[in-house]
Structure 1
Amino acid sequence: MKSPKEHILDRHLLGLLDQGKPSYQLGKLLVSDPEIGAIQDFANTVSIKRLNYNDHGPVHMRQVAYNSVQMLSLLQDAGIKGSMETEESGTFDDSVCAVMLAAFLHDLGMSVSRTDHEITGIIIARPIMERLLKEVFPNDLGKQVAIISVATEGILGHMANRRINSIEAGLLLVADGCDMEKGRARIPMSISSAPKTGDIHKYSANSIEKVTIRKGEHKPILVDVDMSSDVGFFQIEEVLLPKIVMSPAKQYVAVFAGVVGQPKKQYL
């Protein structure tokens, strides 16, 4: 069964989508697909119970999907097109489909291992993407191929260790890095206090009070981070910023972060 947080994120994500567009149909399929849900759940089992790491399951992947669609919409509002539109391989709605697919499936490889999970994730995700897009675009193989290709690039590049080139894949990088509020570390923090690999991610994420994505003054996307202690700067400087630096969308993103009650630091 879904958690209350999953239900809330499902509503928020679908609320960003136009009900008359294919992206809404795809969104409905993604949030209700039993295979995706089962793999996401087991990915969290591996991440939290086996590796004592933070959330890499259904809540995380939904949050990344919500972040990605938010950012893509902010670019559209600023008159900035995604790569699919620029290259005339798809529409804005096709870009939305691509980033949602990538976001919902990008950590499925965690169900096997943390090592090279982006590669394993592609192996797991490709048949699922093909199955869903045949339902959404049953008579358009070219569109299926374009969307799957862009989504695959997003999954492949989400660890910021491979060069990617599309705006859509670049937004997934940023959206993934932005999921760092303390709720993501709550479960592993409660399991064990003994020092283990990955603890810095737990404690740094636990100090992040709030991450807000909104329209910026000088750049289309503003990421505003409130934290309870300085340890949260690890999450900004070692997780989020490397992803933004590797993102083709980096020129469109501004980041402000700081401890609540203190002046914020501008990174970008």
Structure 2
Amino acid sequence: MKSPKELSINDKLIKLTKEVIGLTQEKDELPLRIMEILVSDEEIQEIQDYANTVSIVRLGFNDHGPVHMRTVCKNALQMLKILYQANIRTSLEVEQSGTFLDSVSAVAMASFMHDFGMTIGRQDHELYSGILAYDVVNRILEKLLPGKSDLRRKVTIRSLALEGIIGHMGGRKIHSLEAGLIQIADGCDMTKGRARIPMELNRSPSIGDIHKYSANSIEKVQILTGEEKPIRIEVNMSADVGFFQIEEVLLHKINSSPAKSLVELFAGVDGSAMKRYL
């Protein structure tokens, strides 16, 4: 059973995907067909649910499950939308390896599966995510792009999706704009709702506590159209502990992302002036 939060984000993802497709002149609904599978696929749901059990119950970390992965997908699509409107081309477009909507397709799948590896454990979970996601990505693309004439497109989208999954932690060198956006989108999911369940569990202090307390102070993260750069990220928090999430997680991911030059970052505690990081 999906939670009300999951169902709400599912609706937003379908709507956002339609909006992104509608920006283009391409008569291509591949990203929408992919999104419809992502939000309804039973295997994806089970993997996401178990990833959350391992993350929260076993390890004491914050949400790495269905709500988180959907939120990262929404963040990434929002950034792709902003970049398209700013006439910024994706890596596939620049390389003439695929279309903007191919990029959208890869980013959607990568975002939705980037934390599959949390079903195994935290260390190197991005690599395990790639292993676990490979068959799922293949299954989806085989269904939607079954012809031999679609082979190059399938290979391109699959490869880009796996780069986004394996590169999302910021510890491995990635090269595409698309993978860089997933990295940033992941870092942007740090509001207090993500820490709600682990904060409510009665447990002894553990190594993941700083992430819970820091995330619990983040009131809102907004992805907006920027003033000096295409994308503006604003973080509002209720306490200074929230700066840990920004400086140790989000800022690290932006700095190691190929999309860094396209992002401006502001953060502040409620009632105080915003601090500019980028």
Task: Tell me whether the two structures share a fold, i.e. TM-score over 0.5.
Answer: yes
CA displacement at 1:16 relative to structure 2:
1.0
Who is 2:16 aligned against? 16
Distance 1:124 1:200 in 2: 28
Which one of 126, 130, 137 corresponds to residue 122 of structure 1?
130
CA displacement at 1:193 relative to structure 2:
5.2
Counterpart secondary structure, 1:17? helix
Counterpart secondary structure, 1:48? helix
Q: State how 1:203-242 maps to structure 2 within 5 Å.
A: 203-242=213-252
Per-residue CA deviations over 1:247-266 (Å, capped at 9, x if unaligned) read 00000011110001100100
Who is 1:95 aligned against? 103
Q: State how 1:166-185 maps to structure 2 within 5 Å.
A: 166-185=176-195
Root mean square deviation of aligned Cα: 0.9
CA displacement at 1:115 relative to structure 2:
1.1
Equivalent AA in structure 1 for residue 226 of structure 2: G
- Number of residue equivalences: 268
Q: State how 1:27-38 maps to structure 2 within 5 Å.
A: 27-38=35-46
CA displacement at 1:134 relative to structure 2:
1.1
Distance 2:242 2:257 in 1: 22
Distance 2:200 2:225 in 1: 35
Deviates more, 1:89-98 or 1:17-26: 17-26
Who is 2:273 aligned against? 263
Equivalent AA in structure 2 for residue 106 of structure 1: H
Per-residue CA deviations over 1:86-114 (Å, capped at 9, x if unaligned) read 11111111100111111000000000111
CA displacement at 1:192 relative to structure 2:
2.4
Who is 2:201 aligned against? 191
CA displacement at 1:194 relative to structure 2:
2.7
Who is 2:155 aligned against? 145
Q: State how 1:237-252 maps to structure 2 within 5 Å.
A: 237-252=247-262
Distance 2:177 2:107 in 1: 10
Q: State how 1:151-166 maps to structure 2 within 5 Å.
A: 151-166=161-176
Who is 1:74 aligned against? 82
Distance 2:62 2:14 in 1: 25
Question: Is it true that 1:85 corresponds to 2:121 in the alignment?
Answer: no
Distance 1:99 1:241 in 2: 21
Identity %: 57
Equivalent AA in structure 2 for residue 145 of structure 1: V
Equivalent AA in structure 2 for residue 61 of structure 1: M
Who is 1:2 aligned against? 2
Distance 2:61 2:138 in 1: 30
Unaligned ranges ≥5, structure 2: 22-27
Distance 1:212 1:99 in 2: 19
Counterpart secondary structure, 1:6? helix
CA displacement at 1:127 relative to structure 2:
0.4
Which one of 48, 59, 67 corresponds to residue 56 of structure 2?
48
Distance 2:127 2:253 in 1: 18
Distance 2:203 2:248 in 1: 22
Distance 1:48 1:17 in 2: 30
Distance 1:87 1:16 in 2: 26
Distance 2:203 2:275 in 1: 31
Q: Which runs of 4+ in 1 moved over 3 A?
A: none
TM-score (norm 2): 0.95
Equivalent AA in structure 2 for residue 12 of structure 1: K
Counterpart secondary structure, 1:16? helix
